[in-house]
Structure 1
Amino acid sequence: MPRKPLALILFALSIFSIQGCRQSTTPAAATSPTKAFPVRGKIIATDATHVTLDHEAVPGFMDAMTMPYKLKDPSVVSELHPGDLITATILATADGAEFRDVLLDNIVVIAQGRPDYKPAVQYHVPQAGDAVPNFALLNQSDRTLHLSQFKGKVLVATFVYTRCPLADYCPRMSRNFAEIDKALQADPDLYAKTHLLSISFDPTYDTPKVLRSYGGAYTGNYTTETFKHWDFAAPSEKDLPAVTQFFNVGITPGDAKSLTHSLSTIIIGKDGKVAAWYPTNDWQPADLVAQIKKLAAS
Structure 2
Amino acid sequence: MRLRFTLLALVAAMTLALGSLVTGCHSAAKPSAVATKHYPIRGVVVELDATNKSVLLKHESIPGFMEAMTMAYRLSDPTVMSELHPGDKITATLVTDQDADGPTNMRLTDIVVIAQARPDYKPTVQYHEPAPGDSVPDFALLNQSDKKISLKQFRGKVLLMTFIYTRCPLADYCPRLSRNFAEIDKSLSTDAGVYGETHLLSISFDPTYDTPKVLRSYGGAYTGRYTQEQFGHWDFAAPTTDEMAKMEQFFGLGVTPGDNGTLQHSLSTLVIGKDGKVVAFYPTNDWTTDEVIAQIRKAATA
Both structures adopt the same fold (TM-score exceeding 0.5): yes
| Contact in 1 for aligned 2:56/2:72 (Cα 8 Å) | yes
Tell whether 2:250 aligns with 1:212: no
The aligned residue for residue 247 of structure 1 is 251
Q: CA RMSD in A?
A: 3.5
Q: Pick from 210, 232, 247: which aligns with 1:228?
A: 232
| Contact in 1 for aligned 2:132/2:279 (Cα 8 Å) | yes
Larger relative helix fraction: 2
| Contact in 2 for aligned 1:13/1:125 (Cα 8 Å) | no
The Cα shift of 1:18 comes to 7.0
Tell whether 2:64 aligns with 1:26: yes
Matches within 5 A, 1:34-73: 39-40=73-74, 55-56=77-78
| Contact in 2 for aligned 1:197/1:232 (Cα 8 Å) | yes
Unaligned regions of 5+ residues in structure 2, if any?
1-42, 66-70, 99-105, 110-115
The aligned residue for residue 127 of structure 1 is 131
Tell whether 2:296 aligns with 1:288: no
The Cα shift of 1:252 comes to 1.5
Closer, same or farther: CA 267–209 of 1 in aligned 2, 3 Å = same
Amino acid at match of 1:259: L
* Percentage of pairs with the same residue: 57
Matches within 5 A, 1:127-166: 127-166=131-170
- What secondary structure does 2:94 align onto? strand
| Matched residue count | 236
Amino acid at match of 1:134: D
- What secondary structure does 1:266 align onto? strand
- What secondary structure does 1:90 align onto? strand
Closer, same or farther: CA 113–9 of 1 in aligned 2, 3 Å = closer
| Contact in 2 for aligned 1:267/1:274 (Cα 8 Å) | yes
Amino acid at match of 1:180: I
1:235-279 CA-to-partner distances (Å, cap 9, x unmatched) read: 110111100111101012223221111011100001100000001
The Cα shift of 1:40 comes to 3.9
The aligned residue for residue 75 of structure 1 is none
Amino acid at match of 2:136: V
Closer, same or farther: CA 242–15 of 1 in aligned 2, 3 Å = farther
Distance 1:219 1:24 in 2: 34
The Cα shift of 1:285 comes to 0.6
Matches within 5 A, 1:2-21: 10=47, 17=54
Tell me the TM-score normalised to structure 2 length. Answer: 0.68
| Contact in 2 for aligned 1:138/1:233 (Cα 8 Å) | yes
- What secondary structure does 2:242 align onto? coil
Distance 2:53 2:251 in 1: 12
Distance 1:198 1:155 in 2: 10
Tell me the TM-score normalised to structure 1 length. Answer: 0.69
Tell whether 2:267 aligns with 1:263: yes
Runs of 4 or more above 3 Å deviation: 6-20, 22-27, 37-41, 91-94, 102-105, 112-115
Q: Specify which structure has the bigger relative contact order, considering alpha-carbon pairs within 8 angstroms and separated by 6 or more residues.
A: 1
Amino acid at match of 1:26: G
| Contact in 1 for aligned 2:44/2:89 (Cα 8 Å) | no
